Amino acid sequence: MIKKIIVILTLVSFSTIAIAQQAESQDIRAAINDSILKELQKIRGIQEGAKRRIDSIRAARVNHTTLPEKKAEEDLLNEYEAMTQIADNTRQDWVKDDWNVYGWVAFIIALFSLIVSGVTLYAQWRTEKNTSKLNMGEQKALLSDMIRHFYRNYVASLSLRVKLEAGRRGKTKSKNYTGYPSEEHIKKMMVNLNDVHLNLFYKENERYQLMNKLYVMLRNYNIELDVICDHLKSQTIDYSTKSRDLQTLCFKCYNLTKEITLLIGSIWYNDENAYVPYARDRILNEQKKNREDNTDETKHYTGRFVLNIPEKSFYLSTLFCDNQKQFLDDLKKDVQIECGQNTGGSPKIHIIKFQDLS
């Protein structure tokens, strides 16, 4: 298919070159063409006038009426022949022009356009080919990994709040946060929207609507992350707004986990609750891996904090409803690890202090 398209493009390009050779350059010759046509019309008018006068002279001669001088007839004939020659030469020069600078410019532009078109078509073909390789199973795996991603975001959101509150309650006992987290901590929470492949569901309207709803929610989540990032690093935004933003971050994490879990159940199992056990396992595996990767407890955060997790959250109400205490203990451990230090002894969450404006 691609080869056929390139062949067609080649033929079209060479046709364009031929036209460009005749017309030199469409933009430049457009004005010239109009001028030539007007001049040809004028020449045609002169021709017709001369022809009528010649016919009049010849008719007068036949009828033996008063004849103009012979020279007048010769002048009219010469005028008619001259105009005819000019018109013929103009048409020939207009159509059978030789190659010049404009022709070569048009040739180069047409050739460049052909190359660009071919490269673009090839890139599109590669993209479509790679996209078509993705199947329903792989789409399910991408969504399942988002459950893990949002649990990590939940831990990060809780940890941000712990660190910011600790700074606010420090020696200054400020009414607002005394600093803001480095932007990287917020940006890493963003979701890759390319992991949602709506094209797989174009022919199934009900499933497409479910996937499109999730896509919009994920897009809005990314937008909210940008807004929250701007709020946290602003000294003019009040404490209540920033606190509400952090609460929103936490809510979005377990709410989107719920949406993804139920969506996978609906589309792949025809039962929205069918994927709940698998979602729970994804989070348990993530907790286990995090503890295995951070065994040095001297690097963990030792400050006091309280986790206020709503009972109605998807984590407590559904995923871990039968073992809430164990989940909360493991979650607290994850927050202590996140608020602590890395192997180099630096804080995992870097808080940038605000400048004193007083």
**Does pLDDT of 7 surpass 60?**
no
Q: Distances from the Cα of 169 to the Cαs of 165, 173, 176, 268, 303, in angstroms?
A: 6, 5, 9, 48, 12
The DSSP secondary structure of 7-27, one letter per residue, reads HHHHHHHHHHHHHHHHHS-HH
pLDDT, position 52:
75
Average pLDDT over every residue of 319-331: 96
Region of residue 64 (phi > 0: left; psi between -120 and 50: alpha; otherwise: beta): left
Whether 316 contacts 329, CB under 8 Å: no
Whether 114 contacts 85, CB under 8 Å: no
Average pLDDT over every residue of 124-137: 71
pLDDT, position 76:
58
- Band (213; pLDDT cuts 50, 70, 90): very high
Q: Which residue has the higher pLDDT, 130 or 135?
A: 135
Using CA atoms, how far apart are residues 48 and 44, in angstroms rounded to an integer? 6
Strand boundaries in 22-144, DSSP class E: none
**Does pLDDT of 142 surpass 90?**
yes
Any idea which of 83-87, 141-145, 210-214 has the lowest mean pLDDT?
Answer: 83-87
Model confidence pLDDT, tens digit, residues 250-265: 999 999 999 999 999 9
Q: Which residue has the higher pLDDT, 92 or 300?
A: 300
pLDDT, position 110:
77
User: Chain-wide mean pLDDT for the chain?
Assistant: 82
pLDDT, position 64:
52
pLDDT, position 5:
47
**Does pLDDT of 11 surpass 50?**
no
Among residues 93, 87, 110, which one has the least CA distance to residue 40? 87
**Does pLDDT of 214 surpass 80?**
yes
Residues in Cβ contact with 151 at an 8 Å cutoff, skipping those fewer than 6 apart: 253, 257, 282, 283, 286
pLDDT, position 6:
45
Average pLDDT over every residue of 342-353: 94
pLDDT, position 53:
72
- Band (35; pLDDT cuts 50, 70, 90): low
Whether 227 contacts 205, CB under 8 Å: no
Model confidence pLDDT, tens digit, residues 265-302: 999 999 999 999 999 999 999 999 999 999 999 999 99
pLDDT, position 3:
47
Q: Which residue has the higher pLDDT, 307 or 42?
A: 307
Average pLDDT over every residue of 187-194: 96
- Band (66; pLDDT cuts 50, 70, 90): very low
Global pTM value: 0.65
How does 110-136 read in b/e, with b if 16+ C-beta sit within 10 Å?
Answer: beeebeebbeeeeeeeeeeeeeeeeee
Using CA atoms, how far apart are residues 158 and 180, in angstroms rounded to an integer? 14
Percent of the residues in the chain that have a pLDDT greater than 70, as a whole number: 68
